[in-house]
């Protein structure tokens, strides 16, 4: 937050205090019984959840509700401002992240699938027909893919490290099933990939898929753990690499989505690279 406040475009930021999502809103994607179970676990003091590979405590449930609510608040701000309003770009630097959480399981530090709930919220509340989710976290967003595996109205595109967590997930030939076939795209890169390799893969696979789909609203699972400083990611993306990803996504949003784009923070485990990567990425989105 300090890095964002020190950015040369800081005066263009409108800060919102995230509300807590309701259980009904979380249940747009998750099993209501799971949502209630998580509430009870946390209110009793929490526990270590092996599948999540992390512990939850008393504050985890309200934090997870606000992580969901942040995205919903951004959607409301953008959609209710009507055409011509200045607010079309939203970013939520929240924790916990969400893209690993499945229908009734926490996983990989994630409790609720923030981005998936947001996509369905845009469709159910505002009648958005086609939503694209681009996930550039270093890990595959298995929970997000699962949520829309059979759904042709949500395109899920993930660019991630091959054979990384979660294992046996996000293979390049995984593309959906039934009417959802062709609406999941997995682009895998080897460990040690540079910004140039990320951008080349983005230009070859991701951009054409987004142009073909022509989304009415663009969502981004913005993980910064592919940054070269990150202790977990094993990739070599620079700040300028993230800025270039932002410029490409902005071009898609401007062309097909009336400029509407919301990014939710996913992974990123080095505070310095989070600060610099997020600032570079958002700065690119705000370029005229």
Q: Catalytic residue numbers? A: 100
In 22-114, the DSSP E strands lie at 47-49, 54-56, 89-92
CB 64 within 8 A of CB 52: no
CB 176 within 8 A of CB 150: yes
- Cα–Cα distance between 119 and 140 in angstroms, integer? 18
Polymer length in residues for the chain: 288
Order of strands across the sheet with 261-265? 89-92, 261-265, 217-222, 131-135, 154-161, 184-189
| Strand 217-222 versus strand 184-189 pairing type | unpaired
Give the SS3 label for residue 201: helix
CB 57 within 8 A of CB 49: no
């Amino acid at each position: 937050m300090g890095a964002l406040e020190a950015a040369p475009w800081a005066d263009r930021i409108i800060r919102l205090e995230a509300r807590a999502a309701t259980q009904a809103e979380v249940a747009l994607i998750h099993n209501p019984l799971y949502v209630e179970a998580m509430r009870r676990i946390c209110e009793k003091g929490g526990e270590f959840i092996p599948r999540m590979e992390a512990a939850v405590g008393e504050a985890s449930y309200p934090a997870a509700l606000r992580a969901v609510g942040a995205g919903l608040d951004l959607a409301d701000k953008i959609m209710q401002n009507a055409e011509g309003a200045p607010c079309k770009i939203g970013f939520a630097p929240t924790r916990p992240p969400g893209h690993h959480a499945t229908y009734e399981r926490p996983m990989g530090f994630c409790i609720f699938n923030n981005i998936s709930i947001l996509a369905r919220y845009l469709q159910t509340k505002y009648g958005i027909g086609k939503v694209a989710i681009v996930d550039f976290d270093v890990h595959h967003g298995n929970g997000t893919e699962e949520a829309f595996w059979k759904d042709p109205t949500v395109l899920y595109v993930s660019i991630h490290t091959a054979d990384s967590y979660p294992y046996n997930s996000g293979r390049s030939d995984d593309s959906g099933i039934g009417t959802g076939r062709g609406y999941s795209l997995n682009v895998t890169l080897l460990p040690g990939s540079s910004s140039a390799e990320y951008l080349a893969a983005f230009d070859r696979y991701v951009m054409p898929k987004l142009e073909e789909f022509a989304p009415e609203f663009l969502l981004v699972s913005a993980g910064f753990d592919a940054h070269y400083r990150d202790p977990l990611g094993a990739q070599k993306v620079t700040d300028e690499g993230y800025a270039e990803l932002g410029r490409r996504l902005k071009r898609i949003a401007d062309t097909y989505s009336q400029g509407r784009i919301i990014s939710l923070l996913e992974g990123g485990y080095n505070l310095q690279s989070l600060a610099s990567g997020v600032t570079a990425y958002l700065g690119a989105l705000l370029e005229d």
